[in-house]
Amino acid sequence: MNAVDSPAVASSRLTGVEIDPLTARLAKALYPDADIRSQAFENVTLPTNGFDLAVSNVPFGDYAPFDPKLNPRKFHIHDYFFIAAAERVRPGGLVAFITSRGTLDKQYPHLREAVAKTCDFVGAIRLPNTAFKKNANTEVTTDIVFLRKRAVGEKQGGVPWRESRPLGTESNPIFLNEYFHAHPEMMLGKLERVEHGMYGREEVRLSADGRDLGEAIAGAVATLPAGVFKPLTEAQSAALRQTIPAPPGVKPNAYVLTNEGGGGIAVRDGDELRLLTDLPAALAASGD
């Protein structure tokens, strides 16, 4: 997962999380000014409400990260990425994730309902199963999902996306997210059922329809809602409570220097570090 916590790209601070050590070293070589963490995302220490943008191609696996705070329902890793990213992005910030079609189409809405508690659905673009064939040698139907985190007290907005409904009236229908029922033009290919898919069993996929995919994506992006990202005002920034998971070795009520959330002096409060934002200037400077 990558995150950016400044609205201007030229002056942004980048945080990258990569579980593979070699890939992490390559990322650090390519982006020496970025903070690259060679860790699993579920183990990394990151502030809540700390980032403007989170971007990821979510991983897949049949395991549920142990996280009593964020994952009491024991979502599998690909769903957990959405829950954890929504926690780390600040109000008004965005999440842009590449995920399988199951995130939006699966009949059980538990993940979508959990994410909708804090985030509005901006839109999605469904890519044909050949989109990653050349660079990843895989054929899988994927979605680019865009979310916006609401501010405290802000009314729920966005477009409907919680329900997955059958397509047609056949006895064994294809289930499709209500967003794609309303916006079929955001599926950049032909939806079909195949008897023998990638793993030898029946599957539903979006196959290529002959269009130039780059041009099709650009056209789809142009139809997404504009102006959904808004920088925080000074008053909002001052009122925003950022918390950081307490790292091992920091005792309750102990003070510690941290680089998270902009850096400074923090105190352990329960299982979190709380940044001290009201310190005298001279004391705060001593933590630089």
pLDDT value for 5 = 47
- For β-strands 190-194 and 203-207, DSSP reports them as antiparallel
Band of the pLDDT at 171, cuts 50, 70, 90? confident
Average the pLDDT over each of 85-89, 134-138, 181-185 and give the range with the smallest value: 134-138
Residues 58 and 196 in one domain: yes
Residues 229 and 250 in one domain: no
Question: Mean pLDDT of all residues in the chain?
Answer: 86
Q: What percent of the chain has pLDDT over 90?
A: 56
Range of the domain at 228: 2-235
Residues 135 and 261 in one domain: no
Band of the pLDDT at 137, cuts 50, 70, 90? confident
Residues 185 and 249 in one domain: no
- pTM of the entire predicted model: 0.83
Q: For residue 260, which amino acid is it?
A: E
pLDDT value for 116 = 96
Question: In the predicted model, is pLDDT for residue 212 greater than 90?
Answer: yes
Question: In the predicted model, is pLDDT for residue 7 greater than 60?
Answer: no
Residues 216 and 275 in one domain: no
Residues 127 and 177 in one domain: yes
Residues 79 and 159 in one domain: yes
Reported as a single tens digit per residue, the pLDDT across 214-256 is 999 999 999 999 999 888 777 777 777 767 888 878 888 898 8
Question: In the predicted model, is pLDDT for residue 265 greater than 90?
Answer: no
Residues 27 and 111 in one domain: yes
If we measure between CA atoms, which residue out of 249, 217, 235 comes closest to residue 45? 249
Band of the pLDDT at 6, cuts 50, 70, 90? very low
Reported as a single tens digit per residue, the pLDDT across 175-206 is 999 999 999 999 999 999 887 655 555 688 99
* Number of domains present in the structure of the chain: 2
Residues 53 and 98 in one domain: yes
218 contact partners, CB below 8 Å, separation of at least 6: none
Residue 86 near residue 33, CB atoms below 8 Å: no
